[in-house]
Structure 1
Amino acid sequence: MAPRRSVLYMPGANERALEKAKTLPADALILDLEDAVSPDAKEAARERVCAAIASGDYGPREVAIRINGIDTEWHDADLRAAAQAGPAAVVVPKVNSARDVMTIERALELNGAPEYTTIWAMLETPVAMLRAEEIAAASERLSVLVMGTNDLAKELHAEPAAGRAPLVAGLSLSLLAARAAGKQILDGVYNEVQDLAGFEAEATQARQFGFDGKTLIHPGQIEPCNRVFAPSDEAIAHARKVIDAFESARAKGDAVVTVDGRMVENLHVAEAQRILDLADAIAAK
Structure 2
Amino acid sequence: MLDHPPSPRPPRRSLLSVPAINQRALEKCRTLACDGVIFDLEDSVAPEKKAEARENLRQLLAGAPQQKQESIIRINGLDSPFWREDLDLAMALAPDAMLIPKVERPDDLRAVQKVLDQHGANTTKIWAMMETARGVLDVAAIAASRFSVTRLDAFVIGLNDLRKETRVLPRPGRGFLTPWLMQVVLAARAYDVSVIDSVFNDFRNADEFAQECRQGREMGFDGKMLIHPAQIEPANLAFGPSPDEIAEAENIVSAFARPEAADLNVINLDGRMIERLHLEEAERLLALARSLNDKKTERS
Is 2:124 the counterpart of 1:131? Answer: no
Is 2:245 the counterpart of 1:235? Answer: yes
- Specify the alignment match of 2:289 in structure 1: 279
- Specify the alignment match of 2:272 in structure 1: 262
Q: How far apart in 2 are the matches of 1:199 and 1:73?
A: 35
Q: How far apart in 2 are the matches of 1:19 and 1:169?
A: 38
Identity %, equivalent residues: 43
1:59 shift after superposition: 2.4
Aligned 8 A contact 1:21 1:58 in 2:
no
- Specify the alignment match of 2:234 in structure 1: 224
Is 2:93 the counterpart of 1:94? Answer: no
Gaps of 5+ in 1: none
Is 2:91 the counterpart of 1:61? Answer: no
The residue type paired with residue 277 of structure 1 is: A
Q: Residues 25-40 of structure 1: matches in 2 within 5 Å?
A: 25-40=33-48
Q: How far apart in 2 are the matches of 1:137 and 1:253?
A: 35
The residue type paired with residue 33 of structure 2 is: P
Is 2:160 the counterpart of 1:155? Answer: no
- Specify the alignment match of 2:6 in structure 1: none
Aligned 8 A contact 2:265 2:275 in 1:
no
Is 2:14 the counterpart of 1:6? Answer: yes
Aligned 8 A contact 1:249 1:256 in 2:
no
Aligned 8 A contact 1:249 1:255 in 2:
no
Return 216-225 or 137-146, whichever deviates more.
137-146
Is 2:131 the counterpart of 1:121? Answer: no
SS of 2:175's equivalent in the other structure is: helix
Q: How far apart in 2 are the matches of 1:206 and 1:256?
A: 30
Gaps of 5+ in 2: 1-8, 296-300
> Kindly tell me: are residues 76 and 265 of structure 1, through their superposed partners in 2, closer, same or farther at Cα, counting changes over 3 Å?
same
Post-superposition CA distance 1:5-57 (Å, at most 9, x none)? 00000010111110000100000000110111111110011121133222425
- Specify the alignment match of 2:214 in structure 1: 204
1:269 shift after superposition: 0.4
SS of 1:193's equivalent in the other structure is: coil
Aligned 8 A contact 2:100 2:129 in 1:
yes
The residue type paired with residue 4 of structure 1 is: R
> Kindly tell me: are residues 107 and 252 of structure 1, through their superposed partners in 2, closer, same or farther at Cα, counting changes over 3 Å?
closer
SS of 1:77's equivalent in the other structure is: helix
1:254 shift after superposition: 6.1
Q: How far apart in 2 are the matches of 1:142 and 1:255?
A: 33
Q: Residues 172-183 of structure 1: matches in 2 within 5 Å?
A: 172-183=182-193
Return 271-280 or 257-266, whichever deviates more.
257-266
Q: How far apart in 1 are the matches of 2:260 and 2:91?
A: 49
Return 24-33 or 166-175, whichever deviates more.
166-175
Q: Residues 40-79 of structure 1: matches in 2 within 5 Å?
A: 40-57=48-65, 59-79=67-87
> Kindly tell me: are residues 193 and 200 of structure 1, through their superposed partners in 2, closer, same or farther at Cα, counting changes over 3 Å?
same
SS of 1:258's equivalent in the other structure is: strand
1:110 shift after superposition: 2.4
1:260 shift after superposition: 2.6
The residue type paired with residue 188 of structure 1 is: S
TM-score where L is the length of structure 2: 0.91
